[in-house]
Structure 1
C-alpha cells in the first residue's frame, strides 16, 4: 500500500456511520493551511483537493470519496463536481491546465480518445478500480425476461423488429441508443456489437443523457415496446430503473455476484486516470482509490471493486 494515505480509522468510521444513515464525519483537521503530508498521512482540504471529472455513473462515488477525505457531508461536497461525461472528461484531462482537471474516475474512453492521445503524444497513469456491466432494460410490463447476445445484436442491427420474435407480445421493438461519445455507447460497440454496424436510429431514439434514455424506455408510448441499455450501477444502485426491468443475458442475471465472477457477459472497467506528472495531492488520491481503504469504499457504494474486499463479499 502506498504511504501518505488517510487513516483507515477515518474510513471505518465513515462506513459505520454511512450504514446508519449518517452522511460523513469531521475531518482530522479543519485548518486550511494543513495541505502537506503529515508523517504517513496526507491531509486533504478544499484548497488542495484535486479537480475531478468523469462519467455520469461515477458522480456518486466522487461525492463519497470527497465526503470521506474532506470530512463533509455529500450535500456539502456536491458543489465540487460538475462531471462532463466520459469522452469529454478525457479531453478535459488532455487539455491540462487550460481545463483544470486533475483526475478522472471514468469508464473506458472511445477509440477517438486513444487516437487523440496518440496524436498529441500525451502520457497518463491509468488503472482499473471497479467493474461494471452493460445491462439492457425494458418496461416492467414486458413479459420478456432474458435475451441472448445474438438476439440483442439482431435487434440493434434491425433484423429482429417485433417482440413476438423473442417470446414476447406482438409489439414493435423500439431500440433506444446512446450518442456516439457516451461511455455506454462505447461499451455497446465493444462488448455487444463487436464490429456489427448498429442500424441508423431516428434522432428521437438516440439519447444524450443516461437518465433520458431510462425515462424514454420506461414511458415510451405508454407501452412495453422500448428497450435500451445503460450501466448496471446506474440502473440498479442509483434506483434509476423504477418501472423498468433489467434483462438477463444468455440466461445470466446481472448482479454483484455474476459481475464479480465474470459470468455475466458484458463487463466493463472503471478507471482512475491522471497525468504523467500529477501534483502530490492528485497522486495521493490516485493511489488511495486503488488502496484497500479506497476499494472498501468502492464496494460500500455498490460498485464491484477490482479487488475482493471484505465489504464486497
Structure 2
C-alpha cells in the first residue's frame, strides 16, 4: 500500500492548474515533443497534437506512436520519450524509475472508470464489489452464486504490467491476491480479452475487465455488456459524478528534471484548462471533476 500513498501524493501536488488560464501552446509538428502512451490514450494524444500543431488528425497520426503502457513508462524513464499519456504505474515501473534515479510527475488529465464485462446472453447484470474480489480470488466459482446460471465462471485477466492489469490490482483487488488463471484466460491485448469474453461455445461463462473508454469508444464489440457494480451502471454521467464505484484517471507523466524551458509544462497546463478539457470531451473522454 505504500506505493499508492506516495503515488497519490504526487498526483495531488500536480493538479494545481485545473481551471487556470494557460494559453494553448503553438508548436510546429516538426518540433513536437516525443510522446508515448497506452493504447487507450491514442485518440487523446492524436487530438491534442492536432490542436497544438494546427495540423489535421491525418497529418499528425503517423507521428503519434504509443507503445502500450509498460513500454511507455520504460521509454520515459530511459529518456526515449518526453511525455506519456498512460494509466497508473505498476510496482515494477515505479521500482525501475527508482533504480534509474528518475522521479516522475504524474498529473491526472481526464476521468475514467474501470469496468467489468460479460456476454450479453449472461442474465447477470450486477455484481457487488465484494463479489468481484471473490470471483477473482477463486472464492466464488459459479455464476449461480451471484444470481446467474449454473455455469463455472471463466475469469479472464491481462498480463502483469499491462495498464488494465495494474488497474485491476490497484483499484479492485487492493490487498487481495487474485487466483492464478489458466494461460488461456490471460490475454495480451485489451481487445483480445473483450473478444474472448464475447466468444463462447454453448455457454456465456466469461467475465473480464477493461477501461470504459476502450470498451465503448474504441473496441465496440456488441456481444459484450458492461456490468453494474453495486447497482451503478458505468456511463459518462456516473463516471463524472463519481457514483460509479471504480473510477480512476488517465495521466500525463513526465520526468521531474524536465527543463523548465520545455513545452511539456505548457501542454499539461493547457490540458487542465476549460478549453483543454473541452477538447478531451470532444475526443470522447470524461472531463475531470
TM-score bracket, shorter-length normalisation: 0.7 to 0.9
* Structure 2 CA distance for aligned equivalents of residues 75 and 138 of structure 1: 35
Report deviation, 1:239.
4.3
TM-score normalised by the chain length of structure 2: 0.87
1:108 to 88, 108, 111: 88
Partner of 1:211: 191
Which of structures 1 and 2 has the bigger CA Rg? 1
State the partner residue of 1:177: 157
Residue equivalent to 2:4: none
**Distance verdict in 2 for CA 1:124–1:162, change over 3 Å:** closer
Measured in 2, the distance between the counterparts of 1:180 and 1:188 equals 10
Secondary structure of 1:47's match?
Answer: helix
Residue aligning to 1:289: 271
- State whether residues 274 and 286 of structure 1, in contact with CA within 8 Å, keep that contact through their aligned partners in structure 2: no
Q: State the 1:53 CA deviation.
A: 0.8
In the TM superposition, residue 126 of structure 1 has moved relative to its aligned partner by: 2.2
Residues 35-46 of structure 1: pairs in structure 2 closer than 5 A: 42-46=25-29
Secondary structure of the 1:280 match is: coil
Matched residues, number: 268
TM-score normalised to structure 1 length:
0.81
Measured in 1, the distance between the counterparts of 2:58 and 2:117 equals 30
CA distance in 2, matches of 1:269, 1:294: 16
User: What residue is the counterpart of 2:205 in the other structure?
Assistant: 225
Which position in structure 1 is the counterpart of 2:104? 124
Q: Which moved more, 1:201-210 or 1:109-118?
A: 109-118
Q: Does the aligned pair in 2 maintain the 1:103–1:286 contact within 8 Å?
A: no
- How far apart are residue 135 of structure 1 and its match? 0.3
What's the Cα RMSD here? 1.6
Match of 2:129 in 1: 149
The answer on whether the counterparts of 2:116 and 2:208 sit within 8 Å (CA) in structure 1 is yes
Per the alignment, in what secondary structure is the counterpart of residue 150 of structure 2? Answer: coil
Structure 1 runs (4+) deviating above 3 angstroms are none
Q: Does 1:56 align with 2:36?
A: no
Corresponding residue SS for 2:263: helix
Contact kept? 1:211, 1:240, Cα under 8 Å? no
1:2-52, Cα deviation, whole Å (9 max, x unpaired): 65x33xxxxxxxxxxxxxxxxxxxxxxxxxxxxxxxxxxx43212111111
Q: Which residue in 1 is equivalent to 2:229? A: 249
Q: Deviations over 1:202-235 (max 9, x none)?
A: 1110011101101111013353111100001111
Q: Please say if residues 48 and 281 of structure 1, whose CA atoms lie closer than 8 Å, have aligned partners that are also in contact.
A: no
Residue 254 of structure 2: SS of its match in structure 1? strand
**Does the 8 Å CA contact 2:197/2:207 hold for their aligned counterparts?**
yes
SS of 2:106's equivalent in the other structure is strand
Is contact 1:55-1:183 (8 Å) kept?
yes
The answer to whether the 8 Å contact 2:111/2:286 transfers is: yes
Matched, 1:71 2:51: no
Distance 1:93 1:2, change over 3 A: farther
Q: How far, CA to CA, are the matches of 2:125 and 2:103 in structure 1? A: 44
Of 84, 90, 98, which residue of structure 1 is paired with 2:73?
A: 90
Gaps of 5+ in 1: 7-41, 308-313
Return closer, same or farther for 1:281/1:239 CA change in 2, 3 Å cut-off: same
